[in-house]
């Protein structure tokens, strides 16, 4: 699957939070951001089920 690359400017404090969160779920920050964006899009479309992460075989964490 082809991937679109883009530059994201982000507050360093938010980056640190995302980095910590990603590490706790054994993901890269990039994978974590993509996972969260997929969840947000799915929620916006009305789907509340699980969203499978891209680029990893690990299932989503069951942590709250």
Q: Does residue 6 fall inside a structural domain?
A: no
Q: Does residue 1 fall inside a structural domain?
A: no
Look up the domain containing 30 and give its range.
Answer: 12-44
Q: Does residue 63 fall inside a structural domain?
A: no
3-state helix, strand, coil in the chain (%, to 5): 45, 0, 55
Of the chain, the end-to-end C-alpha distance in Å amounts to 30
Long-range contacts of 4-10 (CB under 8 A, 24+ apart): 8/33
Contact criterion met (CB below 8 Å) for 21 and 32? yes
Q: Write out the chain's pLDDT in tens, 64 residues.
A: 898 999 999 999 999 999 999 999 999 999 999 999 999 999 999 866 655 555 544 555 555 4
Q: Does residue 53 fall inside a structural domain?
A: no
Model confidence, pTM: 0.67
Q: Does residue 61 fall inside a structural domain?
A: no
Number of domains composing the chain:
1
Q: Does residue 22 fall inside a structural domain?
A: yes
What count of other Cβ atoms lies within 10 Å of the Cβ of residue 32?
20
């Amino acid at each position: 699957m082809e991937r679109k690359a883009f530059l994201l400017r982000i507050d360093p404090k938010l980056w640190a939070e995302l980095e910590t969160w990603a590490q706790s779920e054994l993901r890269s920050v990039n994978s974590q951001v993509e996972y969260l964006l997929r969840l947000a899009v799915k929620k916006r479309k009305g789907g509340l089920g699980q969203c499978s992460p891209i680029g990893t075989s690990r299932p989503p964490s069951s942590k709250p």
